[in-house]
Amino acid sequence: METLNKVTVINLKNAIAASQNFLLSQQYPEGYWWGELESNVTIISEIILLHKIWGTDKNRPLSKVETYLRSQQRDHGGWELFYEDGGELSTTVEAYMALKILGVSEIDPALIKAKKFILERGGITKTRIFTKLHLALIGCYDWRGIPSIPPWIMLLPEGAPFTIYEMSSWARSSTVPLLIVFDKKPIFRFDSHLNLDELYVEGRQNAIFELPKNNDWTDIFLGLDQIFKFAELFNVVPLREQGLKAAEQWILERQEITGDWAGIIPAMLNSLLALKCLNYSVSDPIIQRGLEAIDNFAIETEETYRMQACVSPVWDTAWVIRALIESGITPDHNTIVKSSEWLIRQQILDYGDWNIKNKQGKPGGWAFEFTNQFYPDLDDSAVVVMALNQAKIPDESLKIATIIRGIDWMISMQCQAGGWAAFDIDNDQDWINAVPYGDLKAMIDPNTADVTARVIEMLGELDPNCSEYQFKIQSLKPTIERAISYLKQEQETDGSWFGRWGVNYIYGTSGVLSALAVIYPIYKNWGHSSLKPMMKRGENWLVSCQNIDGGWGETCRSYNDPQLKGKGVSTASQTAWALIGLIATGQVTGNYEMQAIEQGINYLISTQLSDGRWDESEFTGTGFPGHFYIKYHYYQYYFPLLALGRYQKLQQL
């Protein structure tokens, strides 16, 4: 194997040390790490509206939002879903709405530019359903153009062809409160002069407020919507009051003690809107806790105020632990011990919504956020177990028991198709994405290659010297075989794998290759055919999309255009993912793509900042493919360190 020259060896060691020192300096006193979760301006725009509706706007520094929104507007006049996407209609309409609510005149240069951008793209009537919903709340769109969802769906029994538990956790936690809002159809007149009539291309008076046709089988839902609206008009909705009461009770039962709902802003915002429609008082403790929970997602600087859609301390902490240990920090370092013990305390030991369709499983997962008892997820849980497995803490017996409990929960969540989803089991009725309300195409949570790979990687990484773990692995032979079969089926013809939760095929391919590499010895010992051919195809694909600068990058547009798979400006996080996948494959085949790997390593070293960080503007995290993207501010820190650490181990430096 080729080795780096002396200068590059020194640069590698210096890069690793600088990155380690930076991350060590960022740990919170409680033991966790936590980076910003940046998305788009619709989140803060909708929160402005919420505070205006509740009359709590004077208690928050919302005047700083204007500065933030202005800073995010691009030269073309619009606001973006992700970095340099050219602007997006619905996002821009909501930002425009927020600025007008804040008192900005429509003749302000920023709004004049935004108005031109909006009208050129079809105006309000071409926006997504959730944008129209927020406009309807203030009388700027007609409720006739919003889908109707009958409250009686709350009463459908387990075992019915459809219940609310066939929706993904995020869709469910956001939709149940909207059953109340859609039923009440409120219009909140906190400003009698507020309107957005200027954003209708055809003129507000000429607008047609109806759901668009698709001219295919899905138009059957438009017919159902007309039936639902007829029943509303004549007040003959079956079991209406019982359904509304059940929705209210569901919301109240799922509020965390911290005030959160599902750990995401849409569920929190919609729940507060629903309770407002039910005439809850702003002084009610439930409302106060809910508003405070939203405040905890805010980031305030001297000049700006913005809002995160979610927070990621468990996720960030687990990855930082892995990156630090694999880059040379001792597993019993006091920083590692403190963070590991914090993660152990975060394990969820209560039953959540997952239990509705999984009666056998016992609690033991982890959530993404500080508090989210109802919605632990498989991705976080698997990474936490891998982090704890690598760490050494004073009470190793507690750690092992924690890991075993986590594994048992995850195994119980395997889907019939053989893979794992993010939050639920067999949440895969794709027809639900076709309902008019589901225009983000994110109404379900099917098993995916990236989450499945994470669980398999976790099982493969368990300490082979721990008898409890090895006994567990041997008992899971059918589980692992089904999962490997699923991953084989999911591989694309070019060798890549789709990335549901990260952008995109680089993320998915790296994750699967990492999983196959660590499970390979176990799988081989069971007498199965080699995994090397499928891994080699994945490796070849990664090498084929390396950029000329040595890095890797993939645009969010690859979710909409397969021609853009693996193509984009190089980023630190995506370069790290590619390197992790290539190194993993080489460990199995014994034949490393050293030229590609070294070029990638040198890209990371050359782009590192003097303080040990990396910087990237691109969004490399995925919320809803095609519709919602995330920039995890820590991705550009811990994934490069993890890649450098694995390369250092490869070179035995």
CA 509 to chain centre: 18
The catalytic residue among 379, 426, 445, 450 is: 379
Contacts of 292 (CB under 8 A, 6+ apart): 259
Given a contact cutoff of 8 angstroms between Cβ atoms, the answer to whether 196 and 290 are in contact is no
Q: Cα angle at 107 between 101 and 111, to 5 degrees?
A: 60
The phi-psi region of residue 308 (left if phi > 0; otherwise alpha if psi is between -120 and 50; otherwise beta) is beta
d(CA 617, CA 82): 9
Q: Record the tokens describing residue 49, joined without a space.
A: 């509206």
Count of other CB atoms within 10 angstroms of residue 284: 11
Q: Record the tokens describing residue 279, joined without a space.
A: 């005439």
* Residue ranges in 254-302 assigned as alpha helix (H): 265-277, 285-295
Tell me which H or E stretch contains 135.
helix 129-136
417: nearest Cα among 477, 474, 479, 496: 479
Q: Record the tokens describing residue 572, joined without a space.
A: 């630190």
Count of CA atoms in the C-beta half-sphere (13 A) of 160: 11
Count of other CB atoms within 10 angstroms of residue 398: 12
237: nearest Cα among 179, 295, 161: 179
**37-38: strand order across its sheet:** 37-38, 628-632, 621-624
Taking the CA atoms of 236, 237, 242 and 247 in sequence, report the sign of the dihedral they define.
negative
Active site residue 430: no
Could you give the residue numbers annotated as active site?
A: 379
